[in-house]
Structure 1
Amino acid sequence: MPNRLTSRLSRRLTGLERSRKQGMMMAVDGVTLLFSVWAAYSLRLGVWFMPSVEQLWLMVAAPVLSVPIFVRFGLYRAVVRYMGEHALWAVTKAVGLSAVVWSTVAFMTSMTGYEGVPRAVPLLYGLLAGVMVAGSRFGARWVLWMPLRRQFSGGQVLIYGAGVAGRQLAVALRNNQQLFPGGFIDDDPELVGKELDGLRVYAPHDVEGIVEKFDIQDVIVTLPSVSNLKRREVVKFLEQYPVKVRILPAVADIANGKHLVSMVREVDIGDLLGRDPVAPDPLLLGRNITGKVVLVSGAGGSIGSELCRQIAGLKPARLVLLEANEYVLYRVERDVRSMVECEVVPCLGSVTDRTLLKRLLPAHGVQTVYHAAAHKHVPLVECNIAEGVRNNVFGTKTFAAVAFEAGVEVFVLISTDKAVRPTNVMGATKRWAELVVQEYARLAQQRGSGQRFSAVRFGNVLGSSGSVIPLFKEQIARGGPVTVTHEEVTRFFMSIHEAVELVIQAGSMAEGGEIFLLDMGEPVKIIDLARNMVRLAGHEVRDAENPEGDIDIEVTGLRPGEKLYEELLIANENATSTANPKIMKAIEPSLNGEGVDILIERLQGCIAEGDEVVVRQLLMDVAG
């Protein structure tokens, strides 16, 4: 019954007009101040004080003198529901000044007759008035919040970070229908224990108790300006609690004017890698693109489409999209057309089609090529050796040959760390593709054409079509199990955006024949990645230590051709640094003279005979 009355009172007060609410607050303050003066006299005299007419007039003067001061200090501008400690300071200053003014009036007039005012009364009045005026406001705030707290019970969130972004998010969440701010977490000792906009700030070590007490199920990390390493530490700290962790994007995204609530995203596994990208060099980004005709093969793939998007922002003269899949070509063309003013040329076709390429490159005067078209899924290529060779090896040979004859200035092959001492067909075909590019770099140097052929080698990119991340997400969404091939498998990871940004810069550094290596950071254990993704999805891993968990992780065994770990270099001593600390340059072993052509003829013969065992052996012998 009391709860129902409180809810009804809260709704009625909330529905009043602003002017009526201010009038009510003034009336309450008037009564409160009048009572404070009377109580000050009673406490000082030790009796139930009965004022004379003169003393009564002096008591009435207290609210008359104080309310204008309260108005001047903004006590009636604040929204009671969102008051914090700043309101308490304002009340203290306003009440202190009003007590001084009232005391001055009392001692300088004869309003109280000849008896005067006991000297302790003004002090008692100031203390009592301060406590009661502040108490009335915070009591009202409690009444107004009561229904909302019950409404959002179990739907409250903690906000990690009590800075500007966190407080803005709290304001935005209060207008949200699903989530509601329950408090802040911050490691700043000057903020811990205080109230900001009506929400208490807790220390990180208080999280466990708060989660249990208020049934908190979500924590939103609002640290938009800190490094990725710091963000990773915070997320790792929160992982130990049964909460779903979300994260606020970077400052640059907030500055775009989007609504903060809609910008809160799930924690991306990339937030756990601790990689702080190096700011790109604008000159390197634009050198091969700005004002030039650029072609991207495999334009609809994960790497190819990101290449197209970033190239579009660098103002090419024309952008040619070469893609064998009709739907993904349509999709990437639609995305890119909305971003650029230059001509966009969609071309449906394969890099193995020499006739198409010989017509396409000269017709559009292509100057820069990013060759991203490839079959990259290791198990699928292992089961389809001939098709993997046709696309990855013969396709690269055809494309590079046509580009060479067409006078293309820059040819950049997108390679992979699996090309280093490969144990699978996909990796071997990519190493052959590198050898092809190196051969045309040598031919360009012989001819003195100034053409630059190079390759950029890197590991897994987060969210790409061949990455384990989408697979893990699907498995977690189905309730598991999450499958890992081996407990010791490690892989390098990088975001697609960062990888493509570095690919473009590496291509601009090329002189011909180099294989650039992207700094992939520290390798990540796939089983740890799986556990993190399960926890970040709000679940617990079910294992021997936690049999009551939600999702199992199953070890299925290494697939054919799969390595426990990947490398970026064939010979470690061959790597040298470049102007960008995230890009290294290697001069890898290559084949001389007509060696590449001879080997490809042999490979074509083996493919024609349909002997995949011999094809695989030849691939490995050359690539290894």
Structure 2
Amino acid sequence: MLLDSTIVLFSIYVGYFILHPYSDFYTSKLLLMSSIVLLVSHHVFALVYRLYHKAWEYASVGEMFTIAKAVTFSIITAAIAQAVGAGNVYTRVLLITWMLHLLLIGGSRFSWRMYRDHYMKPKVEKRKTLIVGAGSAGTAVARQLLHNYDVDLIPIAFVDDDPRKYRLEMYGLTVCGNIEDIPQVVKKQNITDIIIAIPSISKKEIRRIYETCAETDAEVKIMPMIEDVMTGKLAVSALRNVEVEDLLGREPVELDISSISESITGSTVLVTGAGGSIGSEICRQICHFNPKRIVLVGHGEFSIYNIDMELRQMYQEQIEIIPVIADVQDRTRMFEVMEEFKPDVVYHAAAHKHVPLMEYNPREAVKNNIFGTRNVAEAADTFGVNTFVLVSTDKAVNPPNVMGATKRVAEMIIQNLAKESNTEFVAVRFGNVLGSRGSVIPLFKKQIEVGGPVTVTHPEMTRYFMTIPEASRLVIQAGTLARGGEVFVLDMGEPVKISDLAKNLITLSGYTIEEIGIQYSGIRPGEKMFEELLNENEVQKEQVFPKIHIGKADPMDRVELLQTIDRLLSIDMEEMKEQLIQVANRKYSEVIVAKSS
């Protein structure tokens, strides 16, 4: 304020002395009156525009515009005072005063920023960074990196596929080429880090860019959300590493929010397996739609405790959250839970899902996946649940293994119930879920942490992949599409080679494939080289929802099915595995006839 007061008085007197040889109308009284009015009005408008409440070390065009407004209005006020007090406005003096105000008041503030930028930088060793994308997001990232001294990244150049931007400069950084030029730019400029700053980019394009970046030794990061750019909330700390999920090459399924809200808002929802990776994510997604209460059913005390605490922290005021420790294999307990809470919607995610483990423990797979599903489904039927959604798997198609066979039999159980029940029973099939318990990603990460090698069963083995949130949203969407007895299937795009997934994860972790190594261990018991989402008899081309199909999977007759599965636990393990797979492939009745004859 003291500095500004000095500048205000200095400016009007300088203006007076510059023009004094050419005008004798400016009296001492008029000069004093103009000075006082100008000084008071300046501080009034400085208060209005909060000139003394700004961090000037971050000053930019916006702050300069604020200074211009305060100075202009104070000069206008002085002009009005001259017109009233002296009957005339001395325009040339006020114009010179206005220019000096802008120069000196603005300069005094921006000089502090310039001093800070050039002489007060902390001595941090900076990592040279290439920004992919010279649009609004890329330039915002560059600006923040240039002025955030706590970050060890310094932008060196841009690359962009828009030929009109080639060789243009933004914030002193040149657009050095397009995406294909990344390896050359990295080598020439000694780049250590690459930031992908194109928020609107598709998954396929991210994969293309990342594969180009992977040809270099640079660490690759990505800007996560477009809303950070659109709302001006972009922060350098929001940058994250590229994840395997970004490289799937397929856009996530968009949901019909209104239909989901209609079925869930104000309802009682029960989730079995609520502590698991899929079940817990279903719970998180459901809570976005404000159910009246959510019942978390699970066998593991610690996992139920974790999801219960997480949901209470965010939703305790709006939603009644009820943790229930119960085993789906306990039929009596399942009926007690359904009778007590009378849910409107049930999501059945409790299951044993690890293929090789279930080959060694088929009896447990049958008890949990088949009898557990039967217990929960029949309890839901008895107590009038509106919708029952079974979380199934692509391994239920032509299953050669115990896990897939038990899930196909579970589908048959709910399909048969759907024929007679008022409850709408449906199943949802999807492929492997990235990051879920027992999936390859956590295993690969552990192997990379200890220096490798990463073990892959076969170089040509492929799987369909999706993310945990997408899988969970699909399950919830299927519940709104249910009419009873359907098997919903997600169009998961192209299958991914497990070996490619391993290679991407190694490079994402900052290593080369040669450093970690990939070891092929051979196909494990019960595994297939490739998975199918529908067999040839189930395929329907029509989509009931974007990227969601209904299969035409027909179940075995209910009486025959129940008689067959009741016999499973009374036979030895090898015969159980054989007959279970035959049931799942609908060949069991032929085998019985052959044996009887």
TM-score range, shorter-chain basis? 0.7 to 0.9
Instruction: Report the CA distance shift for 1:458/1:187 in structure 2 as closer, same or farther (over 3 A).
Output: same
Matched position secondary structure for 2:264? coil
- Correspondence list, 1:462-473, <5 A: 462-473=434-445
In 2 relative to 1, CA 576–192 (structure 1 residues): closer, same or farther, beyond 3 Å?
A: closer
1:458 aligned partner, one-letter code? F
TM-fit CA distance, 1:477: 2.0
- Bigger mean CA offset, 472-481 vs 510-519: 472-481
* Aligned twin of 1:459: 431
Which residue is 2:219 aligned to?
244
Pairing 1:469-484 to 2, within 5 Å after superposition: 469-484=441-456
CA-to-partner distance for each residue in 1:173-210, whole Å, 9 max, x for gaps?
33333322222222223322232123232213543343
Corresponding residue number in structure 2 for 1:495 = 467
Q: Match of 1:187, as an amino acid?
A: D
Q: Residues 81 and 141 of structure 1 are in contact (CA less than 8 Å); yes or no, is this contact kept in structure 2?
A: no
Comparing 141-150 with 475-484, greater Cα deviation is found at: 141-150
Match of 1:533 in 2: 505
1:312 has 2:273 as partner: no
Deviation at 1:348, TM superposition (A): 0.9
Structural mapping, 1:265-304, within 5 Å: 265-304=240-279
2 CA distance for matches of 1:359 and 1:258?
50
Q: Which of 191, 198, 212 is matched with 2:165 structurally?
A: 191
Q: Aligned equivalents of 1:493 and 1:551: distance in 2?
A: 23
Contact kept? 1:576, 1:586, Cα under 8 Å: no
Structure 2: 5+ residue stretches without partners: 8-55, 62-109, 586-597
Q: What amino acid sits opposite 2:335 in the alignment?
A: K
1:288–1:410 CA contact under 8 A, matched in 2:
no
* Counterpart-to-counterpart distance in 1, 2:58 and 2:310: 45
CA shift at 1:142, angstroms?
14
Say if 1:574 and 1:81 are closer, same or farther in 2 by CA, change over 3 A: closer
Quote how far apart the aligned CAs of 1:527 are. Answer: 0.6
Asked if the contact 1:519/1:582 (under 8 Å) is kept, the reply is yes
Assess if the C-alpha contact under 8 Å between 1:82 and 1:198 holds in 2: no
1:554 corresponds to which residue? 519
SS across alignment from 2:545:
coil
Matched-pair contact (CA < 8 Å) for 2:544–2:550? no
Give the Å deviation of 1:390: 0.9
Work out whether 1:415 is the aligned partner of 2:376.
no
1:333 alignment partner, one of 308, 318, 322: 308
Query: Which structure 2 residues correspond to residues 126-145 of structure 1 after superposition, within 5 A?
Result: none
**Matches of 2:465 and 2:222, distance apart in 1:** 20
Q: 1:257 to 1:168 in 2, by over 3 A?
A: closer
- Indicate yes or no: 2:576 matched with 1:615: yes
Q: Would the aligned equivalents of 1:452 and 1:511 in 2 still touch at CA under 8 Å?
A: yes
Identity %: 45
CA distance in 1, matches of 2:202, 2:561: 46
Distance 1:176 1:440, change over 3 A: same
The CA distance in 2 between the partners of 1:253 and 1:440, in whole Å, is: 48
1:90-147: per-residue Cα shift (whole Å, max 9, x none)? xxxxxxxxxxxxxxxxxxxxxxxxxxxxxxxxxxxxxxxxxxxxxxx9xx99997799
The answer to whether residue 125 in structure 2 is matched with residue 152 in structure 1 is: yes
| 1:489-512: CA deviation from partner (whole Å, max 9, x where unpaired) | 000011121222122111211111
Pick which of 427-436 and 530-539 moved more: 530-539
Contact preservation (8 Å) 2:335, 2:376 = no
Question: 1:590 aligns to what SS in structure 2?
Answer: coil
Q: Give the corresponding residue for 1:212.
A: 187
Map 1:7-406; keep pairs closer than 5 Å: 151-152=124-125, 155-173=127-145, 174-204=148-178, 205-252=180-227, 260-340=235-315, 341-406=318-383
Deviation at 1:538, TM superposition (A): 2.2
Q: Tell me, yes or no, if the aligned pair for 1:186 and 1:192 is still in contact at 8 Å.
A: yes
Q: Give yes or no for contact 2:429–2:533 (8 Å, CA) kept in 1.
A: yes
Distance 2:454 2:181 in 1: 32
> How many angstroms does 1:531 deviate by?
1.1
Alignment TM-score, normalising by the size of structure 1: 0.72
Please report how far the alpha carbon of residue 303 of structure 1 lies from its aligned counterpart in structure 2 after TM superposition.
Answer: 0.8
> 1:333 and 1:240 mapped to 2: Cα distance?
44
Structure 1 residue aligned with 2:106: none
Name 2:588's counterpart in structure 1. none
Indicate how the Cα distance of structure 1 residues 206 and 594 shifts in structure 2: closer, same or farther if over 3 A, else same. Answer: closer
Residue 602 of structure 1 is matched in structure 2 by 567
The answer as to whether partners of 1:152 and 1:180 remain within 8 angstroms in 2 is: no
Partner Cα separation in structure 2 for residue 337 and residue 576 of structure 1:
42
CA distance in 2, matches of 1:392, 1:220: 45
Letter of the aligned partner of 1:510 in structure 2? A
Mind listing any 5+ residue stretches in structure 1 that lack a counterpart? 1-18, 24-78, 85-136, 445-449, 543-549
> In 2, Cα distance between the equivalents of 1:81 and 1:353?
64
- Contact kept, 8 Å, 2:280 with 2:307, in 1: the verdict is yes
Residues 150 and 344 (structure 1 numbering): CA distance in 2 closer, same or farther, change over 3 Å?
closer
Q: Which amino acid aligns with 1:263?
A: A
C-alpha displacement of 1:357: 1.5
Shift, 1:576, TM fit: 4.5
Judged with a 3 Å threshold, the aligned counterparts in structure 2 of structure 1 residues 583 and 81 are, in CA distance, closer, same or farther, namely closer
Of 573-582 and 156-165, deviating more is: 573-582
Note the C-alpha offset of 1:345. Answer: 0.5
CA contact (8 A) 1:284 1:504 kept: no
| Aligned partner of residue 338 in structure 1, secondary structure | helix
Greater alpha carbon shift after TM alignment, 482-491 vs 266-275 = 266-275
1:34 maps to what in 2? none
Once the 2 structures are TM-superposed, how far is the Cα of residue 246 of structure 1 from its aligned partner?
1.1
Contact 2:183–2:215 (Cα < 8 Å) also in 1: no
> Given that residues 429 and 490 in structure 2 are in contact (C-alpha distance below 8 angstroms), is that contact kept between their aligned partners in structure 1?
yes
Distance 2:498 2:244 in 1: 12
Paired residues of 2:433 and 2:468 also in contact (CA < 8 A): yes
Which amino acid is 2:522 matched to?
Answer: G
CA distance in 2, matches of 1:538, 1:565: 29
Give TM-score scaled by structure 2 length: 0.75
Cα distance change of structure 1 residues 561 and 278 upon mapping to structure 2, 3 Å threshold = closer
Greater shift in the superposed pair: 235-244 or 453-462 = 235-244
Counterpart residue number, 2:480: 508
Please give the alpha-carbon distance, in whole angstroms, between the structure 2 residues aligned to 1:359 and 1:259: 51
Q: State which of 406, 412, 420 in structure 2 corresponds to 1:443.
A: 420
Structure 1, residues 1-50: CA drift from partner, whole Å, max 9, x if none? Answer: xxxxxxxxxxxxxxxxxx99xx9xxxxxxxxxxxxxxxxxxxxxxxxxxx
- Residues of 1 paired with 2:559 and 2:365: CA distance? 23
Give the match for residue 40 of structure 2. Answer: none
Residue type at the aligned position of 2:528:
K
Alpha-carbon deviations, 1:509-531, whole Å to 9, x = none?
Answer: 11111111111110001111111
Distance in 2 (CA, whole Å) between partners of 1:404 and 1:413 is 14
CA contact (8 A) 2:271 2:295 kept: yes
Q: Deviations over 1:401-430 (max 9, x none)?
A: 111111111111000000111111111111
Cα distance, 1:504–1:257 mapped onto 2, change above 3 Å: farther
* Aligned-pair CA distance for 1:295: 0.3
1:428 maps onto 2:405 in alignment: yes
The aligned amino acid for 1:166 is G
1:589 matched to 2:554:
yes
CA distance in 2, matches of 1:259, 1:581: 32
Q: Summarize deviations over 1:52-93 as a string: whole Å, max 9, x none.
A: xxxxxxxxxxxxxxxxxxxxxxxxxxx999999xxxxxxxxx
**1:473, 1:271 → 2: CA distance?**
16
CA 1:304–1:141 in structure 2 vs 1: closer, same or farther (change >3 Å)? same
- Give the secondary-structure state (helix, strand or coil) at the position aligned to 1:210: helix
